[in-house]
Amino acid sequence: MTEFTTLFEDDLRSINQTLERKTIQEILDWTFSVFPRVALLTSGQKAGSVLAKILFQAGKQMDLVFADTGVLFPETLETMEKICRTYSFSLKRYAPQLTMSEQTQKYGVLYLDRAGQEHCCHMRKVEPLFGIHSDYEVLLGPLRRGEGGRRSRVPIISLDATFKVARINPIAMISNERYQKYLEEPDTIINPLHAQGYPTIGCTRCTTPVRGDEPQRAGRWRHLAGVDYCGINPSDFARKKVSIDLPTAVVQRLHNSLAKLEEDTHDHS
């Protein structure tokens, strides 16, 4: 039987400080040396496409996982399927308990007001991933500080108390210029909706095109004032320090890795 140890967010402070001085490749190599079960969590948007390409170029094979809300754009699903075919990733979908028709029949049209939107996003995006800790210890995400807002402070590694996994953002520090270069490379697999007026893309019910003079996220929940994020990324919200239970062997490797990380950093300095 697997033994578990509690990992606290304070345990990550020194590791984060050291990772700040690492390259993306070094962050990925470290991640795969510590965590045996790693997956890429993405919603089929630009940053996810860039991270998937970087992972492939780094020789990393893994599952691409996402919450299949049942109301995603066909182009989004096709983009993630193409990424998996091209990079030999495995595609794993986590679906809500209710179809959108069943949800509407039971609760009505939720996404027309803010309270309903939060309930809808929770049921369709968050709840499907509740059991993901049974499959993985860490989820790689494409959050970048260059996006601004709360994401301007996103850490490289953090803990997700909702999904009970570690979250790692390998491209958190990537410059906007380098990120743009990846997007301009002809072999980068990009959701075609981005070229059709959708800077960011969610579910069909709550995503609209954006004019050139509007903020990038203006098309997300346009009909609801003050809604910016769906709740699937804990770093998008103010929160208290958290802890999670991970297999003891993983926690020990994590703690033991700090000395090697710091030693490698000094060797390169």
Cα(252)–Cα(257) distance, rounded to whole angstroms? 8
- Residue 260: pLDDT band by 50, 70, 90 thresholds? confident
Residue type, 157: I
Q: Which residues make Cβ contacts (< 8 Å) with residue 191, sequence separation at least 6?
A: 44, 45, 46, 49, 75, 76, 79, 198, 201
H or E element, residue 70: none
Q: What is the mean pLDDT of residues 219-239?
A: 68
CA-derived radius of gyration, the chain: 19
pLDDT-derived band at 144 (thresholds 50, 70, 90) equals very high
Q: What is the pLDDT of residue 190?
A: 97
Count the Cβ atoms, other than its own, within 10 Å of residue 141: 25
Instruction: State how far the Cα of 56 lies from the Cα of 54, in Å rounded to an integer.
Output: 5
Residues 6 or more apart in contact with residue 155 via CB below 8 angstroms: 12, 16, 169, 172, 235
For residues 204-231, average pLDDT: 82
CA distance linking residue 212 with residue 203, whole number of Å:
21
Greater confidence (217 vs 63) lies with 63
On whether the pTM is more than 0.75, the answer is yes
Q: Is the dihedral of CA 14, 15, 18, 19 positive or negative?
A: negative
Segments making up each domain of the chain, as ranges: 4-253
Which tens digit of pLDDT belongs to each residue from 73-132? 999 999 999 999 999 999 999 999 999 999 999 999 999 999 999 999 999 999 999 999
CA angle 225, 42, 12 (to 5 degrees): 95
Of 14-28, 36-50, 66-80, 218-232, give the lowest mean pLDDT range: 218-232
What type of residue is 217? Answer: R
- Residue 57 has a CB neighbour count (10 Å cut-off) of 11
Can you give the pLDDT at residue 243? 95
Residue 194: C-alpha distances to residues 31, 44, 117, 151 (Å): 30, 11, 23, 20
Class of CATH domain 4-253: alpha beta
Q: In this model, does residue 163 exceed pLDDT 80?
A: yes
**Alpha carbon 84 to its chain's center:** 16
231 within 8 A of 121, measured Cβ to Cβ: yes
The dihedral sign for the CA sequence 118, 202, 178, 91: positive
